[in-house]
Amino acid sequence: MQNVRFRSWVQSATTRALSGPLPGVNLPSIKQTPTILVNGKQFVYGRNLDAQDFTAFMQEVAGDEFSPSPTPTPSPSGSAGASSSPTP
């Protein structure tokens, strides 16, 4: 970030997004931020972003690829019979 390595790319991408058209999306250009696009479809929301509406949108456009409640990954646990005291 400090050496602004991607400055020209960010400026070009911003210009493309604001002037349009956006490739693969039926959206002439970006008009507001945030603009949320998933699989070529835009999530349209009102003044407040509603989590339930967004979840429904994700399920609609991403289908089986989206899980609103991902299965947690088990964390490692100690071996059976392990002591909490250090062994001398």
Question: pLDDT: is 70 or 57 the higher one?
Answer: 57
Instruction: Please report, rounded to a whole number, the percentage of residues in the chain having pLDDT higher than 70.
Output: 73
Domain count, the chain: 1
Residue 87: inside a domain, yes or no? no
pLDDT digits (tens, 9 = 90+) for 63-82: 767 666 666 667 676 555 55
With respect to residue 78, please indicate whether it lies within any of the assigned structural domains.
Answer: no
Report yes or no on whether pTM surpasses 0.85. no
* Residue 37 falls inside a structural domain: yes
Q: Is 50 within the bounds of a domain?
A: yes
Q: Residue 56 is part of which domain span?
A: 31-65
Measured between its terminal Cα atoms, the distance across the chain in Å is: 49
